[in-house]
A and B are shown apart, each in its own frame.
Chain A
Amino acid sequence: MEFAIDIRDMTVAYRDKPVLWDVDLQVAPGVLIAIVGPNGAGKTTLIKASLGLIKPAAGSVLIHGKPYAQQRKSVAYVPQRGSVDWDFPTDVLDVVTMGLYGKLGWFKRPGKEERVDALKALSQVGMEEFANRQISQLSGGQQQRVFLARALVQNADVYFMDEPFQGVDATTERAIVDLLQNLRKQGKTVAVVHHDLQTVSEYFDEVMLLNVRRIASGPVGSEFTEENLRTTYGGRVAFVSALSAKQTS
């Protein structure tokens, strides 16, 4: 079978310190996978290195069987929303339209067609009435949904999302979950850096447990076990037992 995402031997080091060590990840098409691990486990680094934003010491990435560099157009990226300055002088529609800049290519400016596509993507995240809103006036959840719309407009096959659920309101959380389900229905593959262990089994098909090395990856049912979590999170067992208590109840 051809994997939608096939990451091999990904190794990243900052100076002498390994941040990611020999990480493999294979994800079949149409799967929602959560990437889970403690702070500093290298979750964001894994995504950034896979997308060529950080130079890895070793490793390769195939998307649907071809090197990532050839598949850029079918891969969309949702960065952490804290990674940009939301006081930038622009509006919501403009930010979403940025998702189409790659398709437009050099120099060509977005036109009416692009605006229509961007509005469509905005309506998929329930933000169409905010199209002309200044981005500095958005709540955290709204910012997140704008970022998701910007990725949706790319009409990709594979999505990498970095902490989309981080600090969002209930409406946004619901909207993101619906969106993920929708993407799966369309056969898209989504890898999501996730921090809320309580919702992993509810939202995702598969899980990758990461702490510099890959601890486990596969179906949530077989891999999201207390033992694997304990290995991933080390001493922080209180967190884990709270989770297993919830699962058994």
Chain B
Amino acid sequence: MEFISQIFSDYTLRTVALGAMLLGLTAGSLGGFALLRRQSLLGDAISHAALPGIAIAFILTGSKAPLVLLIGAAIAGWIGAALISSVTTRTRIKYDSALGIMLSVFFGFGLVLLTFIQRNPDANQAGLNSFLFGQAAALVERDVLVILGIGALVLFLMNLFWKEFKLLSFDPDFTGTLGFPVPMLDRLLTTLFVVAIVIGLQTVGVVLMSTMIVAPAAAARQWTDKLGVMIVLSGIFGAVSGVSGAMVSSWIPGLPTGPMIVLIVSGIVFFSLLLAPNRGLLFRRLREWKAGKELRIEAVLVDLYTLASQHPSAEYPHSERVLDVMSTMTGPAKKTLRVLNDLGLARPIDSPIGR
């Protein structure tokens, strides 16, 4: 309870929690489309590719204003994504290799530039490193407003192009035959990914930001079979992880916010993979176990029928051990016989030849 009042009274916590919530909401919602288009790793490439953009924006302008740096990040991230797609279509290099190459080339270049900036004697240089793993505590109200504005625009466009994005994600070829410009839609959706990723870089950092795209969506997919529900749920998971990550890291001193958010969203994924109805591992096991039980009942029943048909009367008793031998695949028959007895399909008979 104390926390909840704290979130309203503590300015820093409130700012950080709000910023983290908004970025989680935006990235999470959009991540649903990335997951369904099997572009989960694209987010990773985009966020790593953003790093040199941040450095170049600083070198060119000398400014550390978040908006300036984030525009640099967005341009670089977008160029990275465009290069991946053109390498894939123009050369024999496959999509996953192109992703890997761009990710490391851009990230490496970004690290070189960061080091270069730090060596340069300039009073204004410190702080760019915080984009690696994010530094939520540095968020101020203006940053949150930027996240809010851009996030709202991204979600508005996602909603506006809902039908087109759904069609594109399910069946791109069919989308083309209906007359929709597939390359344009593809670029638009990629641009929205870029923007959603960039607004999280200050808080979560380039290294971990892609988790905010993939993880909420992967968790949400477990709980529903409806696209709308999945996207909303994914946004909620992102927002909840953002807020709780911010709160936990303010609660326990020394815990970094970005990684904390990522840990929490990963926890949600783990929980969802395990416990979601239908798709969850636990339910799947349960179903298999049930099916196995039914299968054993049928197998023993078939064995009993086979035995009965070889004897003058259906009442002729058979030893349990015979059944055990007959169906070695299904295990001991004792338990199954008890079930069959309860169902009224077989009954125990005391007989001298019994055991």
CB distance from B164 to the nearest CB of A (A): 7
Per-residue 0/1 for B201-241: is the Cβ within 8 Å of any A Cβ (1 yes, 0 no)? 00000000000000000000100111100100000000000
Q: How far is the CA of A85 from the CA of B37 in the complex (A)?
A: 9
Residue A51, interface by CB 8 Å: yes
Please, which residues of chain B bring their CB within 8 A of the CB of A79? 171, 173-174
Task: Please tell me if A221 contacts chain B, counting CB pairs below 8 Å.
Answer: no
Task: Write out the residue numbers on chain A whose beta carbons fall within 8 Å of the beta carbon of B177.
Answer: 51-53, 72, 75-77
Chain A window 129-140, contacts with chain B (Cβ cutoff 8 Å), 1 for yes, 0 for no: 000001010000
Q: Does B156 belong to the interface (CB within 8 Å)?
A: no
Q: Which of A52, A79, A89, A107 has the most CB of B within 10 A?
A: A89
Q: Does B163 contact A90, Cβ atoms closer than 8 Å?
A: no
In the complex the two chains form, is B171's CB within 8 Å of A98's CB? yes
For residue A200, CB closer than 8 A to chain B, the reply is: no
CB of A114, distance to nearest CB on chain B (Å): 11
CA distance A109 to B227 in the complex (A): 15
Which residues of chain A have C-beta atoms less than 8 A from B221's C-beta? 89
Chain B residues with CB below 8 A from A134, complex form: 225
Across-interface contacts of B270 in A (CB, < 8 A): none
Contact in complex: B226, A83 (CB < 8 Å): no
In the complex, B179 has a CB within 8 A of chain A:
yes
The answer to whether the Cβ of B176 comes within 8 Å of any Cβ in the partner chain is yes
Q: Hey, what's the 0/1 contact readout for B153-189 against A, CB within 8 Å counting as 1? A: 0000000111110110111011011111000000000
Let me know if A109 and B162 touch, CB within 8 A. yes
- In the complex, whether A104 has a CB less than 8 A from a CB of chain B is yes
Is B36 interfacial (CB 8 A cutoff)?
Answer: yes
Query: What are the residues of chain B within 8 A of A75 when measuring CB–CB?
Result: 177
Known: A88-B36, A106-B164. A53 touches B176 (CB 8 A): yes
- Closest chain-A Cβ to B93's Cβ sits at a distance in Å of 14
| Measured CA separation A150–B161 after assembly (Å) | 21
Complex: how many Å from CA A109 to CA B173?
A: 20
- Asked if A52 and B173 sit within 8 Å, CB to CB, the answer is no
Residue with the highest number of chain B CB atoms closer than 10 Å, among A52, A84, A108: A84
A107-B160 Cα distance, complex, nearest whole Å? 6
- With beta carbons under 8 angstroms apart, the residue of A48, A53, A102, A136 that contacts B179 is A102
A51, A85, A91, A110: the one within 8 Å of B163 (CB): A110
Q: Is the CB of B174 within 8 A of A77?
A: yes
User: Within residues 208 to 247 of chain A, which ones have a CB less than 8 A from any CB in chain B?
Assistant: none
Closest B residue by C-beta to A69: B179
Contact B170 A84 (CB under 8 A): yes
- A230 CB, nearest partner CB in chain B, Å: 33
In the bound complex, CA of A85 to CA of B221 (Å): 14
Q: Mark A39-57, 1 if CB is under 8 A from B, else 0.
A: 0000000001001110000
Q: Chain A residues with Cβ under 8 A from B164's Cβ?
A: 101, 106
CB atoms of B171 and A90 under 8 A apart: no
In the assembled complex, the CB of B307 is this many whole angstroms from the nearest CB of chain A, namely 36
Are B160 and A51 in contact, CB atoms less than 8 angstroms apart?
no
Q: Are A98 and B170 in contact (CB under 8 A)?
A: yes
Known contacts A98-B174, A134-B225; A89/B163 CB under 8 A: no
Chain B residues, Cβ within 8 Å of A106: 164
The reply to whether B225 and A83 contact each other, CB–CB distance below 8 Å, is: no
CB under 8 Å from chain B, chain A span 73-118: 73, 75-77, 79, 83-85, 88-91, 95, 98, 101-102, 104, 106-110
CA distance A161 to B36 in the complex (A): 25
Question: How far does the alpha carbon of A83 sit from the alpha carbon of B179 in the complex, in Å?
Answer: 19
- What are the residues of chain A within 8 A of B160 when measuring CB–CB? 107
CA distance A75 to B163 in the complex (A): 21
- Whether the Cβ atoms of B179 and A89 lie closer than 8 Å is no
Q: Which residue of B lies closest to A98 (CB)?
A: B167
Cα-based distance from A219 to B161 in the complex (angstroms)? 46
Which residue on chain A has the smallest CB distance to residue B169? A88
Give, as a whole number of angstroms, the nearest-CB distance from B62 to chain A. Answer: 42
On whether the beta carbons of B176 and A101 are closer than 8 Å, the reply is no
Q: In the assembled complex, how far is the CB of residue A171 from the closest CB belonging to chain B, in whole angstroms?
A: 24
Cα(A100)–Cα(B160), bound, Å: 17
Q: How far is the CA of A52 from the CA of B181 in the complex (A)?
A: 11
Instruction: List chain A residues, Cβ under 8 A from B163.
Output: 101, 104, 107-110
Once the chains bind, are A72 and B179 in contact (CB under 8 Å)?
yes
B174→A89 contact, CB < 8 A: no
Distance A77 CA – B171 CA, assembled complex (angstroms) = 12
Rounded to whole angstroms, the CA-CA distance of A212 and B221 in the bound complex is 42
Question: Residue A90 contacts which of B38, B162, B170 (CB distance < 8 angstroms)?
Answer: B170
Determine the chain B residues whose CB is within 8 A of the CB of A53 once the complex forms.
173, 176-177
If A84-B170, A88-B36, A89-B226 are given as contacts, then 10 extra A-B residue pairs at C-beta distance below 8 Å, sorted by A number, are A72-B177, A88-B170, A89-B230, A91-B225, A91-B226, A95-B170, A98-B166, A101-B164, A101-B180, A102-B180
Question: Would you list 12 pairs from A and B whose C-beta atoms are within 8 A, ordered by A residue?
Answer: A72-B179, A88-B227, A89-B36, A89-B226, A90-B166, A91-B226, A101-B163, A101-B167, A102-B178, A104-B163, A107-B163, A109-B163
What is B's interface to A at a CB cutoff of 8 Å? 36, 38, 160-164, 166-167, 169-171, 173-174, 176-180, 221, 224-227, 230
Question: What are the nearest 6 A-B pairs in CB distance?
Answer: A102-B178, A77-B177, A72-B179, A134-B225, A89-B227, A84-B171
